[in-house]
Amino acid sequence: MLLAVVSATGCVRRRLTVRSNPPGAVVHVDNQRIGTTPCSVDYVYYGTREVRMSLPGYETLTVNQPLPAPWYQWPGIDFISENLVPARIEDARTVSFNLQPARIEPAEQIIARGEDLRRQVTPVGAAPVTPASAVDPFGGFTPQTPSDPPPPLRSEPPALSPTTTSPNSFRY
């Protein structure tokens, strides 16, 4: 009789399903890739999970998703639900997220924001920061384009002939 009770014990299956609108986003849960939405992953412990979704053309979304323990998984009661209930318990959680289209900012706005931040962090008494628009991105070096003529070839150096200073050494 005891063997029948022990062999018929249950367990709890915890499963998290992640959905997104639009579907097809790559999902990472706690920095582990689990697939593309809609997708599911089994987990062992309750708590807060970091869910990150990315999809080309949409902003990456990172959410700290709480997964609280149900009443039958509270300490003390969990021993009974994990070991003595003669059935399998399913704890399926589904979370859904709406992804926002990516904003495309003009390069001028990004440069202006960067220069504003640079001015804010410049220490008092430090040399002023040169705006990016006043700096040559190539540092004074102009890269060659296919229309530039190739550099002139140097003439061949004169041939060197060995001179002997001792029977076993040569000097050029």
Query: For the chain, what are the domain ranges?
Result: 2-98
pLDDT on residue 30: 92
Confidence of residue 95 (pLDDT cuts 50, 70, 90): very high
| Mean pLDDT, the chain, integer | 77
Q: What is the rounded distance in angstroms from the CA atom of residue 107 to the CA atom of residue 68?
A: 44
| Residue the block writes with tokens 């849960």 | 29
CB < 8 Å & 24+ apart, contacts of 3-9? 5/84, 5/86, 8/86, 9/83, 9/84, 9/85, 9/86
Instruction: Evaluate if residue 97 carries a pLDDT over 80.
Output: yes
pLDDT on residue 20: 94
CA angle 140, 144, 150 (to 5 degrees): 125
H or E stretch covering 109: helix 107-121
Q: Mean pLDDT: which of 50-59, 107-116, 127-136, 138-147 is highest?
A: 50-59
Can you tell me the mean pLDDT for 149-157? 65
Fold of 2-98: Immunoglobulin-like (2.60.40)
**Which one is predicted more confidently, 79 or 15?**
15
pTM of the entire structure? 0.54
